[in-house]
């Protein structure tokens, strides 16, 4: 994965598969620490599965025995001087939290978070998504529930709507500031 945004897309897919009805993606940069948190209210994991979820040979798939999403994200966090944790409770949901030192030479760029978000929003079905972004002096929040209300029956996954949302996200977030790039 060349961008942290790709990891976000990958991990959030798990939330959709766990039948979440709400996924929250937080991207917060403060001082030299970048925090990415993905919270869902999906089916969660029992403590036995949770204990081996960071193992690449753990997966929910039946066709193959390999699951690389979580281990890859953990590896990147640790390579970048950060931390990684998964908290989960069966029936309640899951929280995946990763941190990165912003100035660490091995930290991949955040990348195109707007592309990631519309790739998710285009296939949410009955799930909702909240995106919280706080970095430098900007703050941005997107809630698909509010977008749906404005749409008044027009599907969220219409290409023209997705493109509008992608432009809106790009215009409202700041990922570069005084020579620091997320």
Given the rule CB under 8 A, which residues bind other proteins?
A: 1, 6, 9-10, 13, 17, 61, 63-64, 67-69, 72, 112, 115-116, 118-119, 122-123, 146-147, 150-152, 154-155, 157-164, 166-168, 171-172
22 versus 168: smaller Cβ distance to other proteins: 168
Closest distance between other proteins and the C-beta of residue 108, in Å?
A: 12
* Cα separation, 142 vs 133, whole angstroms: 9
Work out how close the CB of 31 gets to other proteins at its nearest, in angstroms, rounded to a whole number.
26
Q: Select 33 or 78, whichever has its Cβ closest to other proteins.
A: 78
Nearest residue (CB) to other proteins, 74 versus 166 = 166
Residue in this structure with the two tokens 């900007």, named with its chain if needed:
138
**How far apart are the C-alpha atoms of 76 and 66, rounded to whole Å?**
18
Pair 144, 129: CB distance under 8 Å? yes
**Minimum distance, C-beta of residue 3 to other proteins, in the bound complex (Å):** 9
Nearest 5°: phi and psi at 34?
Answer: -105, 125
Instruction: Give yes or no for a contact between 1 and 72, defined as CB atoms under 8 angstroms apart.
Output: yes
């Amino acid at each position: 994965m060349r961008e942290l945004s790709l990891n976000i897309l990958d991990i959030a897919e798990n939330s959709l598969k766990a039948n979440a009805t709400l996924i929250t993606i937080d991207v917060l940069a403060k001082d030299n620490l970048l925090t990415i948190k993905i919270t869902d209210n999906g089916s969660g994991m029992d403590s036995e599965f949770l204990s081996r979820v960071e193992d690449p040979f753990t997966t929910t798939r039946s066709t193959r025995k390999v699951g690389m999403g979580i281990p890859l994200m953990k590896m990147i966090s640790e390579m970048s001087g950060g931390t990684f944790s998964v908290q989960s409770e069966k029936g309640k949901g899951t929280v995946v939290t990763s941190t990165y030192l912003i100035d660490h030479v091995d930290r991949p760029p955040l990348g195109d978070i707007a592309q990631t978000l519309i790739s998710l929003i285009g296939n949410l079905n009955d799930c909702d998504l909240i995106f919280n972004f706080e970095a430098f002096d900007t703050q941005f929040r997107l809630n698909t529930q509010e977008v749906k209300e404005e749409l008044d029956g027009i599907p969220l996954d219409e290409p023209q709507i997705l493109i509008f949302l992608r432009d809106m996200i790009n215009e409202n977030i700041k990922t570069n500031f005084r020579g620091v790039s997320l």
